[in-house]
Amino acid sequence: MCIRIGSVPYLNEKPLTRWFSHTEEGRASGIEVVYAVPSELARLLASGEIAAALVSSFEYFRTPGYVIAPGVSISGQDEIESVRAFARVPWRKIESLALDTSSLTSAALLKILLAEYLDSHPAFFQAVPDQSAMLAQADACLLIGDKGWLADDAGLLTLDLGHAWRRHTGLPFVYAVWLGRSENLTPHLTQSLCTAKAWGLTQFNEIAQEEATRIGTTAARCLHYLTDVMDYDLGEEHVQALEMFGAKAWTNRLLTAEPGAVQIAVD
């Protein structure tokens, strides 16, 4: 029986899923990866169409009953480069902000950063992730993933959400984790996810070469992003950062229930 799991279709996830399709062991694992944007992954996970998803960390707090697979995340220790907000006017003066429709965690993080640290309280609305179109409708916009990474910031104020979070909290930020119901995050699945990560971390050069062609940038830039920007661990500091994010989301009325301690699946 095939186990289906879901992942975002971005450069930053490739080290975590490549093993399943590029190695004999991975192909024999009985685990198939399907790809969708974060908001769609949340729906697939909730409906039971996939057993686990590499999905926005905000989904963990938003939907009771999930646990987090151990040892793996998509995180950043500081500047993240691919999660950025752009504004045509100073942040305190923005009245409207267009949110990338594919975003869950980043939208919540941006609302927290604007309210708590920049004294900015715009009206938010969702829009198709097209920077020019978004800024034609709003004072500012949020872009994530490959589009956020490659977006042109010329003449705009740019807020790197990872850097802003680190500056104000002193912690890394956890953008995505493997989520699922405890009964679905079996030892076989969680161990396979850790094996995939360990192998994927040896593949940065190959991934950079392949993804550069797909994205339309240089292999050197992709390699920099994978090696200097991304953090794929999930240790005590990451859990602390997750719990702070959940607490701030609750304080800023982004959740309907106050979150408790982060629950990690037993591997």
Query: CA-CA distance, 55 to 179, in Å (whole number)?
Result: 7
- Give the pLDDT of residue 220: 97
In this structure, are residues 78 and 163 in contact, taking their beta carbons and an 8 Å threshold? yes
Domain assignment present for 32: yes
Total domains present in the chain: 2
Residue 147 shares a structural domain with residue 90: yes
What CATH number is associated with residue 234?
3.40.190.10
pLDDT digits (tens, 9 = 90+) for 189-205: 999 999 999 999 999 99
pLDDT digits (tens, 9 = 90+) for 208-257: 999 998 888 999 999 999 999 999 999 999 999 999 999 999 999 999 99
Domain assignment present for 143: yes
Domain assignment present for 262: no
Of the candidates 50, 25, 29, the residue with the CA atom closest to the CA atom of residue 40: 50
More confident call, 122 vs 101: 122
Domain assignment present for 259: no
Global pTM value: 0.93
Residue 60 shares a structural domain with residue 121: no
Mark which of 148, 169, 190 sits at the end of a domain: 169
Residue 218 shares a structural domain with residue 203: yes
| Residue span of the structural domain in which 230 resides | 3-75+174-251
pLDDT digits (tens, 9 = 90+) for 145-166: 888 888 999 999 999 999 999 9
Residue 232 shares a structural domain with residue 101: no
- The least confident of 70-74, 107-111, 134-138, 214-218 is 214-218
Q: Which residue has the tokens 């594919």?
A: 102
Q: Is the pLDDT of residue 35 over 70?
A: yes
Mean of pLDDT over the chain: 94
Residue 95 shares a structural domain with residue 159: yes
Rg (CA), the chain: 18
Residue type, position 218, single letter: T
pLDDT digits (tens, 9 = 90+) for 47-57: 999 999 998 89
Q: In degrees to the nearest 10, what's the CA dihedral of 34, 141, 108, 116?
A: 160
More confident call, 183 vs 102: 183
Average pLDDT over residues 17-37: 95
Domain assignment present for 264: no
Residue 156 shares a structural domain with residue 193: no
Return the bridge partners of 86, or none. 141, 158
Domain assignment present for 13: yes
Q: Is the pLDDT of residue 264 over 90?
A: yes
Question: Around Cβ 63, how many Cβ atoms within 10 Å?
Answer: 13
- Give the pLDDT of residue 267: 67
Domain assignment present for 266: no
